[in-house]
Amino acid sequence: MTIGVAHDLSPALVLNADYRPLSYYPLSLWSWQDAVKAVFLDRVTIVAEYDRAVRSPTASMRLPSVVCLKTYIKPARNPAFTRFNVFLRDRFQCQYCGSHNDLTFDHVIPRSRGGLTTWENVVAACSPCNLKKGGLMPKAAGMFPSQKPYEPTIHDLHNNGRMFPPNFLHESWLDYLYWDSELDPE
């Protein structure tokens, strides 16, 4: 198929079979190439399209902007313990000073004092706060996280992800995102 648009344009929002995005942050998007392939493999239903099209010598197809999986994918019950998910749980904010810059993670109870690398002991921290706290216990450092670390649910992470909308939101996606947002009274 001859490609008529740049490779990085026209991503498709991917919805689960229940018409909810597979994830909010990062937003579940496929490249237009993956979306077209899934259409031809009969794995998705096209819900909305862009005005752009791709053409071959014998066919033309408008690019999907929203696709819905034909088979429901059961969401994971517990999110993976990753650096990104710790940052997302903590809203990409240092739990000691509130900074959004130069984030790393800190063991509230230092590993040198028996602290484990778990949801309940790791928080997002900026490098200056992490260095300042060092291997000290919170009381000795006079530094306490603004929220007690906890194991989030997938729902917690999705809610936090909604606070960080992507740089690009196509108008055809809006009906499928942020269903719990307050509506205008008009």
The full set of domain ranges for the chain reads: 12-69, 83-173
The C-alpha atoms of residue 165 and residue 178 are separated, in whole angstroms, by 10
- Cβ–Cβ under 8 Å, residues 2 and 55: yes
The CATH number corresponding to 83-173 among 1.10.1040, 1.10.30, 1.20.1510, 3.20.20 equals 1.10.30
Is the overall model pTM greater than 0.75, yes or no?
A: no
Burial of 38 (0-12, 13-18, 19+ CB in 10 A): buried
CB 74 within 8 A of CB 80: no
Rounded-to-integer distance, Cα 15 and Cα 28, Å? 8
Instruction: Quote the CA–CA distance of 49 and 22 in Å, as a whole number.
Output: 19
Q: What is the residue-level pLDDT of the chain in tens, covering all 186 positions?
A: 223 333 357 899 999 999 988 887 778 889 999 999 999 999 999 999 999 999 989 989 999 999 999 999 998 778 899 999 999 999 999 999 999 999 999 999 999 999 999 999 999 999 999 999 999 999 999 999 999 999 999 888 888 887 776 666 778 887 887 654 454 555
